[in-house]
Amino acid sequence: MPINVAIDGPAGAGKSSIARAAAKRLGYIYVDTGALYRAVGVYSLRNGVDTKNAEAVTGTLPHICVDLKFQDGVQHVYLNDEDVSEEIRTPPASMAASDVSAVPAVRQFLFDLQRDIAAKNDCIMDGRDIGTVVLPDAQVKIFLTASPEARAMRRFLELQQKGAKDTYAEVLADLVQRDYNDSHRAVAPLKPAEDGVTVDNSGLSLDDSIEQVLAVIRETLAAKQA
């Protein structure tokens, strides 16, 4: 039976970087489910669809094919056979992802793809509702979080490196809004799994955060095998 690790948490907590590094260390594949929602959001943005209009977003789904491909262990996201791995990381794509992820039809559209990957592979999957909805039977469930200010600074510095002009205040405001959207949506809201472990990495470096997550994974699996 494949080993599944679910890592949930708010935007900017470092889920992707930490989960990717932890998966590489453990020899698992890494699945960034947020990237799937971002791809749907990008399609809507490209086609002038109001991402807050659930009916309009639902209407785009028959025209969308989202796929994950792993090249040299690195996840690439394809939207209708086009690699959009870079485009989905922009702030507009991030906000669009938050909007479309609240649409039940979108969640169902991507649900089977996520579960199919987990059923066939030892994997670390991150997102907003992995431990609570997508993989409720995952052997390890982690809720990774940090203060809004710490998360906003990380995202701000990341965007600066890419040449973006967003200010720290703008990044913080967007992040706080996304936190609210993700935790208050009617379908699969962001929240810790009852049987999960919360890791707050506000004051930790990336390397220390990776080590802490790896320790939780190893300890949890060892306890279940004892």
Annotated binding-site ranges: 9-17
Among 108, 99, 103, 124, smallest CA distance to 38 is for 99
Find out whether 171 and 156 touch, Cβ atoms under 8 Å.
Answer: yes
CA trace torsion 39, 42, 48, 53 (10° rounding): 60
Find out whether 126 and 99 touch, Cβ atoms under 8 Å.
Answer: no
Q: Which run of H or of E encompasses 219? A: helix 206-225
What are the start-end ranges of the E strands in the chain?
A: 4-8, 29-32, 66-71, 74-79, 82-83, 123-127, 140-145, 197-200
Residue for token digits 């890791």? 199
Q: 142 in helix, strand or coil?
A: strand
Give the 3-state secondary structure percentages of the chain, helix then strand then coil, rounded to 5: 55, 15, 30
Give binding residues for ATP as ranges.
9-17
d(CA 68, CA 214): 24
